[in-house]
Amino acid sequence: MNHQPTPDERTRRLIAELIDGELSVTDAAELNQHLKSDPKQAEQVVDQLLLDSLLSEELGSESLTALVDLVSNDTTSGGTSQSAKSPTSVLRFPRSKRRLWQSLGGAAVVAAIVVAFVMGRWESTALADAATVVRAAMVTHAEPVERVYIVQTERSATGDAGFNPPRDVRVATQGDRFYVEMNQGERRWYWGLDADGAIWLTMGPRRAIVVDQDECGLPLQYISNLYTLNLESLLQNFLKHCTLSHAEGPGATHSITATPRRRWNGGWLRKATIEVDRETKAVRRLVIERDIPQHGASTVTFTLVDSRTPDESKYRPEGHLTEPFRLLTRETQPDKRRELMTNWFGPTAERWIKTPETKPQ
């Protein structure tokens, strides 16, 4: 009679395969279920990974920060995280730090669970640091969850914005994607960026326009700078280009202040404050202070108000339109776009799209 392993024996075997880099995609999914249903087993994974790192000649006695770097490496490199691509993505570590984990077959949720437990240990020993909190937030925001933020904007009186933003603005974001809902009285419109960086805007339920990057006038560029929320890239840039400081935030949050180093001027950032929920590791509040040439200083505050299952269609203009609809592009009806924009937003929208006769402002 064949011996059937007990649940504990089965879990121990899966953990051993995880550490040895032999865990299949199917077994990774099974291990994920075990870890999600039993926190003690998840902590056992952390213990095993810590022990393995301490016994490794390559890793030596690296700190817990280094372990989080290893576990979350793919979720903090490049523009798109592995977990955003697939719930069973293969995680790979830097060559200089690979040993038994060099072809780790666990799903990205394993990394998220490990980071969560390591974060918990840091917090319990008052050793949490700013970079670790930001990395944990990156893992959380790579999950297939859409988060909605209300937006408040304060601008200086200097500069000609060519645009008066409405008070009711919401940004829905998942990973490095977003779309913006703007409400002004009874009028509502949506806008976002496509894969090539072109801006799309809806004009009512049956029409949308697309403006390529190279034909965006300064006012439209300014709108994009204010409201774009590519959280993965933004957090990655904070890690790479800013000096980070950590403090206790309001209402059970970590408060991280990001101040750009002199050699990085991306987005004209002066300072950012990120409040990360201690339990969920989601960004609960984000305040971005900028000084944009020709438009002066601005402070934009994103405050989390909802978390939900994403509707993939909403990240494209078609998802906000009703059939039959029209998409107006440079190739289809270039002049009609300007006419629609001035009818919708007023005479100042005339400068939102460059024309061959108009020199760059």
* Domain annotation covers residue 15: yes
Whether the CB-CB separation of 134 and 238 falls below 8 Å is answered with yes
* pTM: predicted TM-score of the whole model, two decimal places: 0.67
Closest CA to 269 of 246, 287, 247, 248: 287
Tokens linked to 296: 């002066």
Task: Report if residue 203 sits inside a domain.
Answer: yes
Q: Are residues 241 and 321 in the same domain?
A: yes
- What distance in Å separates the CA atoms of residue 227 and residue 333, rounded to the nearest whole number? 27
Assess contact for 254 and 280: CB atoms under 8 A. no
Q: Cis (ω within 30 of 0) for the bond into 324? A: yes
Same structural domain, 208 and 341: yes
Does a structural domain hold residue 1?
no
Q: Would you state the pLDDT for residue 115? A: 54
126-135, 214-223, 313-322 — most confident range? 313-322
Same domain for 105 and 144? no
Rg (Cα) of the chain, in Å, rounded?
23
pLDDT at 190 over 50: yes
155 pLDDT higher than 90: no
* Domain boundary, last residue among 125, 158, 175: 125
Residues 94 and 191 in one domain: no
Number of domains observed in the structure of the chain: 2
The residue with greater pLDDT, 17 or 253, is: 253
Same domain membership, residue 160 and residue 60: no
Give the C-alpha separation, 199 to 219, whole Å: 12
The whole-number pLDDT of residue 187 equals 85
Determine the Cα–Cα distance for residues 328 and 243; give it in Å rounded to an integer.
43
Q: Mean pLDDT over all residues of the chain? A: 75
pLDDT band at 40; cut points 50, 70, 90: low
Task: Let me know if residue 2 belongs to a domain.
Answer: no
Cβ(255)–Cβ(273) below 8 Å = yes
pLDDT recorded at residue 275 = 97
Domain that holds residue 244: 128-361
Pick 83 or 140 by higher pLDDT. Answer: 140
Q: Which two tokens stand for residue 323?
A: 């059939």
| Whether residue 281 sits in one domain with residue 183 | yes
The whole-number average pLDDT for the span 313-336 is: 91
Of the residues 91, 125, 159, the one at which a domain ends: 125
- Residue 359, pLDDT score: 47
Domain identity same for 14 and 108: yes
- Residue 91, pLDDT > 50, answer no
Q: Residue 79: pLDDT band by 50, 70, 90 thresholds?
A: very low
CB 281 within 8 A of CB 139: yes
